[in-house]
Amino acid sequence: MKIRILLVDDHAILRDALRVMLEQEDDLEIVAEAGDGQTAIDLATQHKPDIILMDAAMPGMGGAEATRRLMRSNPKAKVLALSAYTDKRFVTEMMDAGAISYVAKSAASEKLLEAIHSTAQGKSYLCPEVSAALLDSMRSAKSARSMGKTHLGRREREVLGLLADGKTSPEIGDQLHIAPSTVDVHRRNIMRKLDIHSVAELTKFAIREGLTSY
């Protein structure tokens, strides 16, 4: 049985190239093509393809929004994102929207067939370029957190833990025997050192680093 594919990309030349490449495979069939997100949704509803090969960056309704709407109307849809972008923001946006695989366009000629067959089986697939980009991003984030943790002073760590426990500045001041204004100074310094801009994110960091009483 052939794997039925819907091609979605706003560049007709790329769609033509993909169609020529994929139709050389005996077990693949292109059932429809779309140049924008809304058309993709309409055609997916009409043709019920096994895989939707979705461009992540399109004008108007982008790939992530189109994927999100597709998943609402057809939760069993299998979306394979294809994009020129490999940075974490694009990858996580597409995966959060419901895509289960992601391939860089630069790797399509070598990895797309492998990705299609994996996706058809319901297995997630990331091409090596995307995996490497995500790993670098994770390493950078871990390094930044470690550096921030190392550079926090003892008092700052105490203030951070109490903030994450839900204490107000006056309550923290009473507990640590310092002025509420001093607590606010510590909070601003902590946010600057960690490059974090909300108490909610500070709380997540503190919980992750074991600085709270939770």
Q: Measured between alpha carbons, how far is 198 from 190 in angstroms, rounded to an integer?
A: 11
pLDDT of residue 205: 77
By CB neighbour count within 10 A (0-12 exposed, 13-18 middle, 19+ buried), where does 52 fall?
buried
Q: Measured between alpha carbons, how far is 65 from 67 in angstroms, rounded to an integer?
A: 5
By CB neighbour count within 10 A (0-12 exposed, 13-18 middle, 19+ buried), where does 12 fall?
exposed
3-state SS of 56-102 is CCCCCCCHHHHHHHHHHHCCCCCEEEEECCCCHHHHHHHHHHCCCEE
pLDDT, one tens digit per residue, over 27-58 is 999 999 999 999 999 999 999 999 999 998 88
Structure tokens, 27: 């077990």
Distance of CA 60 to the CA centre of its chain: 20
In this prediction, the residues of the chain whose per-residue pLDDT falls under 70 are: 133-150, 212-214
Q: What percent of the chain has pLDDT over 90?
A: 44
Single-letter amino acid code for the residue at 32? A
What phi and psi, each to the nearest 5 degrees, are found at residue 104? -75, 140
* Coil, strand or helix at 214: coil
Neighbouring-strand partners of residue 79:
52
Quick one: which of 150, 143, 170, 145 has its CA closest to 159? 170
Domains and their CATH numbers in the chain: 3-133 (3.40.50.2300), 152-208 (1.10.10.10)
pLDDT of residue 31: 96
